Amino acid sequence: MQRKKFKKPDWQLEIARERIEILFNLAKKGLEKHPKRSRRYVELARKISLRYNIRLPKEVKRGFCRKCSILYIRENCEEIDSKLPNIKMIKCLNCGEIKKIPK
């Protein structure tokens, strides 16, 4: 009997990556008109990335709140003063989560 491999087949990873990209695009598009739906899309994309062990690109990862899954736009986040010179701090105005981003 063959043992189940831990890694998913490439074609599945490929589809998963595509779905993540589509979901983030939908989330961006729907953010203003359907904020709730937009957050669901981000949540789904994150679930897929966890299940398939796919790392999200840096720019994508920095672009949303890890707590409430809202995509950051100018109106819903705020840069706050950081005492550390090479760390940027962003506060989510939706849930209050503070994110530290290396500059």
Q: Is 67 one of the binding residues for Zn ion (CB under 5 A)?
A: yes
Report, in Å, the least distance between residue 78 CB and Zn ion.
11
Q: Is 68 one of the binding residues for Zn ion (CB under 5 A)?
A: yes
Q: Is 65 one of the binding residues for Zn ion (CB under 5 A)?
A: yes
Our CB check for Zn ion shows the closer of 82 and 94 to be: 94
Out of 30, 52, 97, 101, point to the residue binding Zn ion (CB under 5 A). Answer: 97
Stretch that binds Zn ion, among 7-15, 17-25, 38-46, 93-101 (CB under 5 A): 93-101
Phi/psi of residue 5, nearest 5 degrees: -80, 150
Q: Is 92 one of the binding residues for Zn ion (CB under 5 A)?
A: yes
How far apart (Å, rounded) are the C-alpha atoms in residues 8 and 56? Answer: 17
Strand partners, 101: 88
CB-based contacts of 48-54 (< 8 A; 24+ apart in sequence)? 48/16, 48/19, 48/20, 48/23, 49/16, 49/20, 51/16, 52/8, 52/12, 52/13, 52/16, 53/7, 53/8, 54/13, 54/16, 54/17, 54/20
Stretch that binds Zn ion, among 36-44, 51-59, 78-86, 89-97 (CB under 5 A): 89-97
Residues in the site for Zn ion, rule: CB under 5 A? 65, 67-68, 92, 94-95, 97
